[in-house]
Amino acid sequence: MKRIYLDNAATTPLDPQVLEEMLPLMREQFGNPSSIHGHGRVVRSAIEKARKKVAELLNTSPSEIFFTSGGTEADNTVLTNSVLAKGVTHIITSPLEHHAVLHTAESLEKRGLVKVSLVELDEKGFVNYAHLEELLRNNPNTLISLMHGNNEIANLLDLERVGHLAAEHGALFHSDTVQTMGHYRHDLQHLKTHFIVGAAHKFHGPKGVGFMYLQAGTRIPPFIHGGAQERNMRGGTENVYGIVGLAKALEIAYSEMDEHQRYIKGLKTRMIERLKEAIPDVRFNGDSENVEGSLYTVLNVSFPPSADSEMLLFNLDIEGVSASGGSACSSGSDVGSHVLTALKADPSRPSARFSFSKYNTAEEIDEVVAKLTTIVGAVV
């Protein structure tokens, strides 16, 4: 049975062109980039070319790009060291953030280092900007940490609006852009963000490598100590072929972005229409049904109540479909989606997240909807 992969928000297949770019660094160019001899200099040059390419695509300076092991490390670095070194005493975030942000903020608060405020949300999960401004007005020395594109329900944050509010109130602004990096253009000369982060495996690059953008003038100390790598910002020998692969993947993503946006929006639209036709009372969580206005790679679907909500994803897997998600938590002990729980979604309705890439096809969408129709009909 040929499996269908619709979990691209979790990770994406590696682009063959990216692998080709990485192979020389894996096979022949094996020197340590911190070494001053010829073997090391060749590898150091590859890293700096990659940094320059990423900076060029994001319209910023190479001196503001720092490579990490991924988005989680970058988020941890920004939040923790903004508190420890930038005088931040207050963090504003939301209950819908990735746990890399939420758990870090919670840990800092438990240690008595910072106060954390959760901005109010509407019924679809959008930020209440009036409440955000009120929190900023009443709390100096604030870091705002709000993601650009939600990985579960596809809501998009107005980065420009939040950036202007941060500037107006003298706050720092960090945005986890892991889900939107490589899918939208980020002009960092224009955006009023102090920190953003990315992870290569979300845009057809390798796992285990990411980056953080630190705006000039807002430098923070390293989170990982041990060496002078990344201009004293991140100790440890660099993941060289990962870094080179990241830059190549981002370059491909930017060159193909308009075409892929149109293509993937077409897949998402097709799935929405087919589901509405096939399954009575199907619903869509957050803003994910809004193809033009939401993160176009993600669709979060809520199905009619079933005997056991956990069986939906299990049955999809049995049928050869890889998706993710889950229902809202019905009690404090349940393990479910913290995002759907925050939106007060009905815990009796099973939900699934389907996320698309350039490698998916219309035929796959139709096949998945057919399988879902059978599965939902069997368990209702």
**Per-position pLDDT tens, the chain of length 380:** 799 999 999 999 999 999 999 999 999 999 999 999 999 999 999 999 999 999 999 999 999 999 999 999 999 999 999 999 999 999 999 999 999 999 999 999 999 999 999 999 999 999 999 999 999 999 999 999 999 999 999 999 999 999 999 999 999 999 999 999 999 999 999 999 999 999 999 999 999 999 999 999 898 999 999 999 999 999 999 999 999 999 999 999 999 999 999 999 999 999 999 999 999 899 999 999 999 999 999 999 999 986 655 689 999 999 999 999 866 554 444 567 899 999 998 888 999 999 999 999 999 999 999 999 999 875 54
pLDDT at 335: 64
- β pairing state of 172-176 and 142-145: parallel
Phi, psi values for residue 23, rounded to 5°: -55, -45
pLDDT at 329: 53
Taking each helix axis as running N to C, give the angle between helix 311-318 and helix 362-379, from 0 to 180 degrees, rounded to the nearest 10. Answer: 130
DSSP H or E run through 16:
helix 16-27
**Has 329 been annotated as catalytic?**
yes
Are 261 and 357 in contact, with CB atoms under 8 Å apart?
A: no
Structure tokens at 318: 């049995």
- β pairing state of 4-5 and 195-199: unpaired
329, 338, 373, 379: the catalytic one is: 329
Are 210 and 67 in contact, with CB atoms under 8 Å apart?
A: yes
Domains (range + CATH), the chain? 4-11+257-379 (3.90.1150.10), 16-252 (3.40.640.10)
